[in-house]
Amino acid sequence: MKSLVIAALAVTGLLLGGVAHASADKANAAGCMKCHDVEKKKMGPSFKDIAAKNKANKDYAAAATAKIVSAKGHPKSSASEADVKAVMDWVMTL
Ligand code: HEC
């Protein structure tokens, strides 16, 4: 079962590899990259750090989206909830 999940994730990773650029563009368009970077800490933590820290929590993307959209515990974002969620789903694949 576990190896099946890992295999599924690997395939997803391969598939996402093809669209990773589009998602980075989305994060850019949503303004996230003003304060975040995939690899390095900027004003906010790097997206890879965020993903690594929260991988075990499958509700994290939704919780973080709510936090960002409501601007509670996160600087206000002008991106729509759907865009923030799409970026968060991508972040969790990093
Ligand atoms: C104005 C700067 C700024 C912008 C724009 C910004 N962030 Fe952040 N973000 C931060 C800072 C600063 C933190 C650290 C906040 C803290 O931990 O107190 C953070 C933290 C986070 C976290 C971790 C939150 C947690 O508590 O686990 C996530 C996830 C995140 N940002 C995602 C995003 C996404 C997605 C976008 C684009 C929609 C975005 N951020 C746009 C500055 C920004």
This prediction has a pTM of 0.83
Establish whether residue 69 lines the binding site of ligand 1, counting it when its CB lies within 6 angstroms of any ligand atom.
no
| Least confidently predicted of 13-17, 25-29, 31-35, 46-50 | 13-17
CA–CA separation, 27 and 21 (whole Å): 10
Predicted pLDDT of residue 22: 72
- Taking every pair of Cα atoms in the chain, the longest distance, rounded to a whole number of angstroms, is 41
Establish whether residue 48 lines the binding site of ligand 1, counting it when its CB lies within 6 angstroms of any ligand atom.
no
Cβ atoms of 73 and 64 closer than 8 Å: no
Instruction: Decide which of 1 and 30 is more confident.
Output: 30
Report CA Rg, the chain: 13
CATH of domain 20-91: 1.10.760.10
CA–CA separation, 25 and 45 (whole Å): 18
Ligand 1 centroid vs 44 CA: distance in angstroms?
5
Establish whether residue 64 lines the binding site of ligand 1, counting it when its CB lies within 6 angstroms of any ligand atom.
yes
Ligand 1 centroid vs 54 CA: distance in angstroms?
14
Interval 42-50 mean pLDDT:
97
